[in-house]
Amino acid sequence: MVRARIGFGSDQSGATMVEMAIVMPLLLTLLLGFVDFGYAFYQWNAANKAVQMGARLAQISTPVASGLALEAKTPSDATLVGTAVPANTYNYICTANTAGAVSCVCGTGATCQSLAASQASFDFIYTGSSGRAGMQKFLPNLKKSEVRIQYQASGLGYWTRPNGPVPTITVSITNHPFQFFFLGGLLGFGNITMPSMLSTVTGEDLKSTFP
């Protein structure tokens, strides 16, 4: 009887299976975690490319802020004609609601001639056209409500400039979530908000048609 107890205590059969049962979930979680965070890094790169393309499209197309066409035409003081338009004289910030409808507001310390917004211009930057990829092409799950387009007086250009103002254009992505697939299912990880990212350019050819 004593020998049987000693033999049972020293029996190693099945130990490998027990160890594997303990270690395998940890290894699987680690492996799938690498996959998920790799995909998050891919989304980060895609979002960076999306804001770069959005800024480029905003640079060469009709402004979303329709009132921008009125800026730099006539200063309040006639003696300023031909002089530089001061930085932040105007500051249009255009965003879309959850339904995708765009609107513009005037930034702090600026004076905006008109807050009218062009839905067609915003949609062009977001979606693109047959000849140009828009922001959504690079980040398919991007929502219109996550896009922010700003036109701000840069200090370049001058009053009564024939081709209009020369704004600094900033295209941003805000409140966009990283999506976790494996970790979300295994460990209940919720999506986390991606840090805001932006791309800034100087207005180049703000024409009245879309390329």
Q: What is the pLDDT of residues 84-125, one digit of tens each?
A: 999 999 999 999 999 999 999 999 999 999 999 999 999 999
Q: What is the pLDDT of residues 140-163, one digit of tens each?
A: 999 999 999 999 998 888 888 888
- pTM for this model (two decimals): 0.81
Within a domain: residue 7? Answer: no
Within a domain: residue 12? Answer: no
Query: Residue 7, by phi and psi: left (phi above 0), alpha (psi -120 to 50) or beta?
Result: alpha
Within a domain: residue 8? Answer: no
What is the model's pLDDT at position 120?
95
Our count of domains for the chain comes to 1
Those residues with Cβ within 8 angstroms of residue 109's Cβ, 6 or more apart along the chain or in another chain: 88, 91
Contact 129/118 with Cβ under 8 angstroms? no
Q: What is the pLDDT of residues 4-57, one digit of tens each?
A: 555 555 656 666 777 777 777 777 777 777 777 788 888 899 999 999 999 999
Within a domain: residue 60? Answer: yes
Per the structure, the complete domain to which residue 145 belongs is given by 17-202
Of residues 77 and 136, the one with the higher pLDDT is: 136
Within a domain: residue 67? Answer: yes
Cα separation, 117 vs 64, in Å, equals 5
Within a domain: residue 5? Answer: no
Within a domain: residue 69? Answer: yes
Within a domain: residue 10? Answer: no
